[in-house]
């Protein structure tokens, strides 16, 4: 859950989000190092009165400021490509769920052969909120998944552009008419994960939240039996 005045990421609840946070910290460290180096170099140039007569025609210096940015880009690109691979790689998921966006709610369909579950998920109105629930974030039907297992989510839409986003799990998938996008979900703990549509989709864009409930596999199977 985001907190008031929070400036950083939400706590990571999946291996993918942990990798994204590591990439962010790595890139930030590179940017900080470059900024300090440029600041020191600029201060040195502005405060010295000495000038090299051949400073505009030094091939060695030109080679240095060409090679160094290339090395910096490589240092940033390799971890980024690794995270992109992890985001796209889905191997032997435990189950598949299709999330379909509508104006302005989500529909979830458990598509595996031994499951026949379909339901709509609307935002719970303020007057109907249970004690201690979160305003504008709670829904009447949560998407339930097993913890510590791979779940494949297929994201689509029936009308306009939407976006299915769960920040603490590192997931943001665009819902585009006529297209089926795929994301991998691997919650590393039990609990509730909150998200919202992150694409401006109309007048009630702010009122179509996403709530995922992660349960142990035994509890999840019990929930499945109760739905049938």
What is the rounded end-to-end Cα distance, in angstroms, of the chain? 31
Res 51 pLDDT > 70? no
What would the two tokens of residue 152 be? 């494949």
173 forms bridges with which residues in the sheet?
164
Q: Average pLDDT in the 168-192 region? A: 90
Q: Where are the domains of the chain?
A: 15-88, 95-226
Per the CB < 8 A criterion, the answer to whether 80 and 23 are in contact is yes
Measured CA distances, 198 to 9, 74, 77, 165 (Å)? 16, 31, 26, 6
pLDDT in tens, 70-117: 888 888 888 888 888 877 776 778 889 999 999 899 999 998 877 788
SS3 99: strand
pLDDT in tens, 190-199: 989 999 999 8
Topology adopted by domain 95-226: Immunoglobulin-like (2.60.40)
Topology adopted by domain 15-88: Helix Hairpins (1.10.287)
CA distance 184 to 16: 9
Helices (H), 56-169: 59-88
CA distance 102 to 33: 46
**Residue 53's pLDDT band (boundaries 50, 70, 90)?**
low
Helices (H), the chain: 15-47, 59-88, 217-227
What would the two tokens of residue 8 be? 């950083």
Tell me the pTM: 0.80
Confidence (pLDDT) at 135: 87
């Amino acid at each position: 859950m985001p907190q008031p005045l929070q400036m950083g990421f939400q706590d990571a609840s999946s291996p993918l989000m942990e990798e994204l946070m590591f990439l962010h910290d790595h890139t930030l460290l590179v940017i900080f190092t470059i900024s300090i180096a440029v600041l020191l170099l600029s201060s040195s140039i502005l405060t010295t009165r000495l000038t090299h007569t051949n400073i505009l025609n030094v091939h060695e210096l030109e080679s240095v400021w060409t090679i160094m940015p290339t090395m910096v880009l490589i240092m940033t690109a390799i971890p980024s490509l690794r995270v992109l691979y992890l985001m796209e790689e889905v191997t032997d998921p435990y189950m598949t769920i299709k999330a379909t966006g509508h104006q302005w709610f989500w529909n979830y369909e458990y598509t595996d052969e031994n499951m026949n579950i379909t339901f709509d998920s609307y935002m719970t109105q303020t007057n109907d909120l249970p004690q201690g629930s979160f305003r504008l974030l709670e829904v009447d039907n949560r998407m339930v998944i097993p913890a510590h297992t791979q779940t494949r989510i297929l994201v689509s839409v029936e009308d306009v552009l939407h976006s299915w986003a769960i920040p603490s799990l590192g997931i943001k998938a665009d819902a585009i008419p006529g297209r089926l996008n795929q994301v991998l979900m691997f919650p590393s703990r039990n609990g509730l994960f909150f998200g919202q549509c992150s694409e401006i989709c109309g007048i009630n864009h702010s009122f179509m939240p996403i709530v995922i409930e992660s349960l142990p596999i035994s509890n999840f199977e019990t929930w499945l039996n109760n739905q049938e």
